[in-house]
Amino acid sequence: MREAFHRIFRLLHDLDSVTVAAVNGAALGGGAELATFCDLVVASETATLGQPEIKVGVFAPIAVLHYPLRVGPRRALQLLLSGRIVGASEALAIGLVDRVVPADKLDESVQGELDRFTAHSAAVLHLTKRALRERLGLSFHLGLSQLEDLYRYELMAIEDAHEGLRAFAEKRKPVWSNT
């Protein structure tokens, strides 16, 4: 089971598409890991999140890797060592979720977030996500050097980049190919 579960995260990690999670109710253990691994997490006011694994004598491998990036190492350690469950407002305050909305507005709010992403070039969104993911942990100079090459040789090879720049110069809305 663990191998299959971790395969999901390997696939999500390598996915260039934007991922959005909607949390309504309890997201504990693997559910919290799955939700918080997404690029954007929208939670209802009644949502709770936590990693209670420590209480049964194990730890959450994905949370151990991912939570320090999401909430910082000290906060991640506190959450993982205590097994404490946090409510939506605290999850927002510490960065475990990105937005909290009333429960009856969750679907509408998630759709609004999705609409914001789909208003942009899918190709450029994919490249941006990949650029960030592949440069995490690199020194500034090495990362910037790699990004300059990525920008020049990959981004500028995408028609949507040219369309966006043309639209800006012509003071009009771009028409994306969304490929």
Residue at 177 is within a domain: no
Q: In sequence order, which residues have a C-beta less than 8 Å from that of residue 29 and are 6 or more positions away?
A: 50, 51, 52, 53, 60
For residue 176, pLDDT over 80 is answered with yes
Residue 53 domain-assigned (yes or no): yes
> Which of these three, 117, 139, 154, is where a domain ends?
117
Model confidence at 4: pLDDT above 90 = yes
Same domain, 164 and 132: yes
Range of the domain at 145: 121-169
From the candidates 3, 45, 53, 90, give the one annotated as an active-site residue.
53
Query: What is the DSSP code string of 31-56?
Result: HHHHHHHSSEEEEETT-EEE-GGGGG
> What average pLDDT does the chain have?
95
pLDDT at residue 154, rounded to an integer: 95
53 classed as catalytic: yes
Reported as a single tens digit per residue, the pLDDT across 120-132 is: 999 999 999 999 9
Q: What percent of the chain has pLDDT over 90?
A: 96
Task: Give 96: exposed, middle or buried? Use CB within 10 Å, 0-12, 13-18, 19+.
Answer: buried
Do 110 and 141 belong together in one domain? no
Beta-carbon count within 10 A of 29 CB: 19
The answer to whether residues 87 and 138 belong to one domain is: no
Residues 141 and 83 in one domain: no
pTM score, two decimals? 0.89
CA–CA distances in Å: residue 59 to residues 63, 65, 94, 124, 127: 8, 11, 20, 37, 33
Q: Are residues 92 and 130 in the same domain?
A: no
pLDDT in tens, 20-79: 999 999 999 999 999 999 999 999 999 999 999 999 999 999 999 999 999 999 999 999
